Amino acid sequence: MNRPLRHIAIFCGLLMLALLIRTNWLQFAKSEELATHEHNRRVKITQFATPRGDIIVNGEAITGSKEVSGTDFKFQRTFKDGAMYAPVTGYASQAQGMSLLEKTYDSVLSGQDERFAFSNAKDILTGEERRGGDVVTTIDPKAQKAAYKGLTDLDARGAVVALDPQTGRVLALVSTPSYDPSVFAGNSFKEGDKFQSLVDAKSKPLANRPLRETFPPGSTFKILTAAAALEHGVVTDVDAATDAVSPYKLPLSSNTISSEAGDRTCNKASFKTAMQFSCNNVFLDAASKLGDDRMRETAAKFGFNSDVYSEDFGDMLATKSLYPTELDKPGTALTGMGQGSLTSTPMQMAMVTAALANDGKLMQPYIVESLRGPDTSPLETHEPKLKSQAVSEDTARKVQEMMEFTAKEGSAKRALIDGVTVGGKTGTAQRGDDVTKEVPYGWFVSYGKKPDGQSVAVAVFIDPTAMDISREDISGGGLGGPIARDVMKAVLGK
């Protein structure tokens, strides 16, 4: 064999060897990853080869499956009250994939979970169709409906979160505007166009505002500032006058900040009066005296600067709410009134409110009560878990006293319910600047307690950008207070 032919033969041999190595590597080393990859069409065919299990709310299925023809996918997902429950269920689309609970618990819902191996093997022998398991949620349907109705009646972009302070159970999780997952559950071109229109919409209907978007919390954050001041001894008597003058001059700055209630009302006001009238000066001064380290430490105990809320079940992934690092003195003061570079999800502010209502104990929020097999036998059951002791019981009860006074005599009156102890705090969060003049966000946080001990904590967030409302009429109490009241009434049976 001449030299050129020998080189060609060696080169071809190396190519064959590389091909054999690659084939064996794919077949053995990467087989599991490729077999379960979300873009593997066989995976999707298997996911929709049989009716999926259901997502359950209060004993009733809010999802279903229908048989379809003319496609590789035998069954298609259906949703009951899809838009109302979309922030809970997510979507399960033959073409667009899955999200939220549909994605997190796909192996259970599609019947492919390894814990179903025995029953699946038995079904093969008996010729029965594979069946999926169910995901049982903590959602209270009356609270969910009250929250959704409240936001849609306002035609607002917004979010509502309701928690059981004693256990961490998520009772309501609403985002508006929303979408119906049923309209793009298949894989037709028409459904693909509908999904793309949702992606492109300026109102962002696919956004999960309660969990995945952050905003300046405004004056609702003052309940955390108050807790930090009490916990660290900066304030000991909530009825005593402070030395915080109004208007308040920011540290190292010539800028001054006033309060809507007026400088006369807020000048050197007590903490209780400052909460009642939402006096900025008192909370700016408290944060300045605390310093950013102690403010950040307290915020972290309430859940700020933490990624995931439900580590055990993995069902409550949320965007991190941030108390920033390396703040200067003016920036630290501004966080005291919930402004500056501080950001929060509505879920985070619901957690702060719930922890204070629960005497300082922050429970781990969770939205899945249990998982059950195709025969409804239990697979897993969630147990309430203490996330942290955010503040002492004494501190929490002093903040409760202030919030309840604010509901009775201050800006949170619209959340009052007969026969229920209610604490609340309004918030109007500024954004933009004097040039852009963007409309502010509206916030409202509250809790309600019945004499028998049953309780609920609620956070309402409203972005009035698309609403037909004047800037002067935007307030957390006016817009969010009635929604919070209706959600609390739904939970507490009032």
Q: What is the 3-state secondary structure (H, E, C) of 296-361?
A: HHHHHHCCCCCCECCCCCCCCECCCCECCCCCCHHHHHHHCCCCCCCEECHHHHHHHHHHHHCCCE
Residue 125 binned pLDDT confidence (cut-offs 50, 70, 90): low
Share of the chain above pLDDT 70, in %: 87
Cis peptide before 464 (omega within 30 of 0): no
Count of other CB atoms within 10 angstroms of residue 107: 16
- Residue 4's pLDDT band, with cuts at 50, 70 and 90, is confident
Q: Is 235 exposed, middle or buried (0-12, 13-18, 19+ CB in 10 A)?
A: buried
Full-prediction pTM beyond 0.85? Answer: yes
Q: Which pLDDT does position 473 carry in this prediction?
A: 53
**What pLDDT score does 61 carry?**
97
Cis ω on the peptide bond leading into residue 346 (within 30° of 0)?
Answer: no
67-85 per-position pLDDT tens digit: 888 677 788 999 999 999 9
Rounded Cα distance between 289 and 491, Å, is 39
Task: For 410-443, write each residue's pLDDT tens digit.
Answer: 989 999 999 999 999 999 887 765 444 678 889 9
pLDDT at 311 over 70: no
Q: Which residues are catalytic?
A: 219
Lowest mean pLDDT among 385-399, 408-422, 448-462, 469-483: 469-483
pLDDT of residue 14: 80
N-to-C CA span, the chain: 96
Q: For residue 366, what are the β-bridge partners?
A: 169
Instruction: Quick: pLDDT tens for 256-269.
Output: 888 888 889 999 99
All structural domains of the chain, each given as residue ranges with its CATH number in brackets, are 40-124+131-137 (3.90.1310.10), 216-369+383-492 (3.40.710.10)
CB atoms within 10 A of CB 483: 28
39-69 per-position pLDDT tens digit: 556 667 777 888 999 999 999 999 999 988 8
Tell me the average pLDDT across 158-164. Answer: 97
Task: Report the C-alpha gap between 214 and 232 in whole angstroms.
Answer: 27
Q: How far is CA 459 from CA 129, 424, 471, 482, 487, in A?
A: 44, 10, 22, 12, 10
CB contact burial 32-59 (16+ within 10 A = b; e otherwise): eeeeeeeeeeebbebbbbbbbbbbbbee
Q: For residue 38, what are the CA distances in angstroms to 34, 42, 127, 333, 375?
A: 9, 9, 28, 47, 27
**170 vs 144: CA distance, rounded Å:** 10
